[in-house]
Amino acid sequence: MKIDVTVLAATEFFAIPWLVGQDQDFFSKRGVEVENILAGSGGSATLRTQLSGDAPIGEIGYKSVLDAWSQDIPVRAVGGGAQGPYGGEFYALADNDRVNGIADIKKWAYTNPGSSVYALSFLLPKEAGLSTDGERIAAGGVGEGAALLEAGTVDAAWLPPSLASRNKGKFKQVVATSDYLTDFQQSVITASPAYAEEHPDVVRAVLAGWQESARWIAENPDRAAQLYAEHVDLPVKAAVGVVKGAIESNVWNVGFNPAALERATEAAVVSGFEGEVDYCEFFDGSFLPEGAARELPTKCGT
């Protein structure tokens, strides 16, 4: 069977297991050909595409899926995804001698209201034992944070790994998320309940292929970086930095991680989510491959 998949931030490290799965035939040898990796166009739009059947399986931001589930949109998290803190780093201008660490930041630039990056701008100083006071400015996108830094409007801004790796002489990292957080569910692999019921073997094949891809990346970082560099037109050296950073953070995991889910739910609340999360209804581990963890923050019935 041929399918397309939708992946959030498809120019960032989220796309790498999917690229590897295509290149190494980890999906096709299981009977599923992933033809196109489509860039997510926002959580709700991506989910509508998924529900329409045009891209029936996707990797979507945790909070976007959580918001959809709370609004009774039929979606299920069938696999893990990005569970490490990698990619949540904040940067200052390299020549800014005043800002060298998290305690120096008074003005933070994040992406958009309600985003995980917005939540991190509160969670990180809290974990560091610092005040969460300070000004937060919505950059409105990926590149706009860099523009705010250059204009001197903010002390630190979130920058995606690809941009930071490409501009190491221009920006310096002043907050490494992994210094404060060990587990953080950034994305989940999703399918509509109807599609999963009609095509369970496809869902299982995709998850098993993704799992094999994640293991292969850890063993072949340079080759994975080459694939990623070609995909996003990134210098190979910069791509190697992205891949190795993700590996060191243990970011990719097809199974469920209770600590990562609880931390991400905490971040979602900071970003405006209201209500309780019924993990047993929201998640379905029946499609996970052998060896993948199925534990959730709450114990579910058999």
CA-wise closest residue to 76 among 87, 92, 60, 52: 60
The rounded distance, in Å, linking the Cα atoms of 155 and 236 is: 29
Q: What is the pLDDT of residue 41?
A: 57
Whether 199 shows a pLDDT value over 80: the answer reads: yes
Q: What is the pLDDT of residue 115?
A: 86
Q: What is the pLDDT of residue 285?
A: 96
Are residue 80 and residue 188 in the same domain, yes or no? yes
Q: What is the pLDDT of residue 49?
A: 67
User: CB count, 10 Å around CB of 81?
Assistant: 28
Q: How confident is the model at residue 55 (pLDDT cuts 50, 70, 90)?
A: confident
More confidently predicted of 121 and 140: 121
Q: What is the pLDDT of residue 65?
A: 87
Show the domain range for 64: 2-84+184-287
* pLDDT tens sequence across 71-104: 888 889 999 999 999 999 999 999 999 999 999 9
SS3 172: strand
CA dihedral 151, 153, 158, 163 (to 10 degrees): 0
Chosen domain end from 154, 179, 204: 179
SS3 36: strand
CA 171 distance to own-chain centroid: 22
Are residue 66 and residue 190 in the same domain, yes or no? yes
Q: Spell out a b/e string for 172-188, using b for 16 or more CB atoms within 10 Å of the CB, else e.
A: bebbbbbebbebbbbbb
| pTM reported for the whole predicted model | 0.93
Number of domains in the chain: 2
